[in-house]
Amino acid sequence: MRITALAGGVGGARFIRGLLHHLESARPGERVEVTVIGNTGDDITLFGLRVCPDLDTILYTLGGGVHEGQGWGRADESHHVADELAALGALPQWFSLGDKDFATHIYRSQLLAQGLPLSAVTARLGARWGLPDRGVTLLPMTDTPVETHVVVTEGGEQRAIHFQEWWVRHQASLHADRFVVAGLDAAAPAPGVLEAIRTADVVLLPPSNPVVSIGIILGVPGVRDALRGTRAPVVGVSPLIGGRPVRGHADLCLRAIGVASTSAAVAGLYADFLDGWLVDPADPMEEPPSGSAPALVRRPLLMSSVEAAADIAGAALSLAESRADRRGLGGGR
């Protein structure tokens, strides 16, 4: 079985970890290849180093090194480098980087400076965290540097700030007028991205931010077309429970693009390729006519533990299997 998932940071990483747990416990001995296409729109350069927050969160989570309480960063971390940078007056000081985390960014930046593409660098980092041993390939959505910026209104004037400044420093408290992704129009999918979608047996959309995570991946030229054309059923998990994200600011991101904070509205963002949709019972959503897309399954979606995430991933796979004949051998829609 070949499974491809489009993922952002914490929610995506925890879902994929649950998926692996489900596969290892429920399908022991079955050969399964999991390809994760990670969002790089969150990437930022800090202190001269290239930081890829979503890719790193996936690496650390699947590799067993993540700070569980935060959901990002390294466990058992120290902050000597950051403290010394602050003492020197180096800016910015609102983005927390630990010493072990710095090592990742130094290594990545060193290899990028030597001319390696981000996909090759990510493969090396994946090997460090044992992803190939678990049948996992992590691909950045593109090797082209892209960065999401937020146009905000402050003091009656508009200005653009990096997404990380809006998300981390301001905790999304500044009103977002719109999102602008620098470099996205000229980006090309990283090697293996389109093939992973086209040749998958199942495509999964974890409960990642539909605007600034999965939405950015879908903006890479060719990705959305590949999802429309794949023969694999595409099943998504709503990122909302009771109309609100469990963590983060997905509701504010949806408001910025004029979309209601509901599971039905999020499904509408994927309507041209979505075959199945998992929704929490706390979210009202009209049952679609029998046989139409997406097929709707209601179940609890709170990933309160690895086991809970595994159950959700298992439900997503079961829904995908029930929809496998929708696209047929002819492929596409």
- Cβ atoms 112, 106 nearer than 8 A: no
> What crossing angle do the helices spanning 306-322 and 10-26 adopt, rounded to 10°?
80
Q: Which amino acid is at 209?
A: N
Peptide bond into 221 cis (omega under 30): no
CA distance 96 to 306: 26
Q: Which of 141, 126, 147 is nearest to 62 (CA)?
A: 126
Counting DSSP H helices and E strands in the chain, the numbers are 12, 14
Predicted structure pTM score: 0.95
Question: What DSSP character marks residue 304?
Answer: -
How many Cα atoms are found within 13 Å in the side-chain-facing hemisphere of 32? 20
Structure tokens at 103: 């090592």
3-class secondary structure, 83: helix
Q: Dump the DSSP string for 244-275.
A: EESSS-HHHHHHHTT--SSHHHHHHHTTTT--
Contact 44, 97 (CB under 8 A): no
Closest-CA residue to 3 (of 308, 298, 314): 314
Q: Tokens standing for 261?
A: 């904070």
pLDDT tens per residue across all 333 residues of the chain: 999 999 999 999 999 999 999 999 988 888 999 999 999 999 999 999 999 999 999 999 999 999 999 999 999 999 999 999 999 999 999 998 999 999 999 999 999 999 999 999 999 999 999 999 999 999 999 999 999 999 998 888 899 999 999 999 999 999 999 999 999 999 999 999 999 999 999 999 999 999 999 999 999 999 999 999 999 999 999 999 999 998 889 999 999 999 999 999 999 999 999 999 999 999 888 777 666 679 999 999 999 999 999 999 999 999 999 988 766 533 444
User: Tokens 């709503």 correspond to what residue?
Assistant: 238
The H or E element spanning position 315 is helix 306-322
Strands 136-140 and 147-154 come out as: unpaired
